[in-house]
């Protein structure tokens, strides 16, 4: 049985780097964040009506990757993060997105602390650091949904050691 590991956190908190490193360390696969591809291929930031299709595509890719995964599947973001960004940017959440976020459960949730230097990244990332606001919404959503999580912080090697404490070797 493959355990799904959700990696969540604000932009520039090291989710992608951690997902890649964990997949390499555990000899498994990781699911890249579809939002990045969306922005790069369409050359625009997503609108409110894009949020549900983005989350649906993320989950479809996650399900496909699960067929190739070993003991763990490392998911660089989840529909919950799409929901959090919908709340942050649009002040509301589409009912379909809310249902999708509620329907997907993960075996382990890793919350990446925003303790890595924030770097703007064109259209993929905000022109200013929004970590505090996004993390406040994320904390509220994790609590409201009673989703247990492990806060991961520090440089990559320290983060990998912290995850090993949770997942084992």
User: Cβ distance 45 to 39 under 8 Å?
Assistant: yes
Q: Render pLDDT for 122-169 as a digit per residue (tens, 0 to 9).
A: 655 565 678 888 999 999 999 999 999 999 999 999 999 999 999 997
The burial of 89, by beta-carbon neighbours within 10 Å (0-12 exposed, 13-18 middle, 19 or more buried), is given as middle
Residue 112 in 3-state DSSP?
strand
- CATH number assigned to the domain covering 3-167: 3.40.50.300
Q: Render pLDDT for 28-73 as a digit per residue (tens, 0 to 9).
A: 999 999 998 999 899 898 999 999 999 999 999 999 999 999 999 9
CA distance 41 to 49: 17
CA distance 103 to 153: 28
- End-to-end C-alpha distance for the chain, whole angstroms: 16
| Cross-strand pairs, 3 | 72
Give the domain ranges of the chain: 3-167
pLDDT computed for residue 38 by the predictor = 94
pTM: 0.93
CA distance 109 to 130: 21
Phi, psi dihedrals of residue 48, rounded to the nearest 5°: -55, -40
| Cross-strand pairs, 76 | 7
| Residues across the chain | 169
Phi, psi dihedrals of residue 75, rounded to the nearest 5°: -105, 110
| Cross-strand pairs, 72 | 3
Residue 49 in 3-state DSSP?
helix
């Amino acid at each position: 049985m493959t355990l799904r590991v959700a990696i969540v956190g604000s932009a520039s908190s090291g989710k992608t780097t951690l997902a890649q490193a964990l997949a390499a360390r555990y000899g498994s696969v990781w699911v890249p964040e579809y939002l990045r591809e969306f922005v790069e291929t369409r050359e625009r930031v997503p609108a409110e009506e894009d949020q549900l299709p983005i989350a649906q595509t993320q989950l479809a890719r996650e399900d496909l990757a699960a067929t190739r995964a070993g003991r763990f599947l490392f998911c660089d973001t989840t529909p919950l993060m799409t929901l959090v960004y919908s709340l942050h940017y649009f002040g509301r959440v589409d009912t379909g997105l809310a249902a999708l976020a509620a329907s997907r459960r993960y075996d382990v949730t890793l919350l990446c602390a925003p303790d890595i230097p924030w770097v703007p990244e064109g259209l993929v990332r905000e022109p200013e650091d929004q970590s505090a606001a996004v993390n406040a919404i994320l904390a509220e959503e994790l609590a409201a949904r009673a989703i247990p999580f492990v806060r991961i912080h520090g440089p990559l090697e320290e983060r990998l050691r912290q995850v090993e404490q949770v997942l084992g070797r």
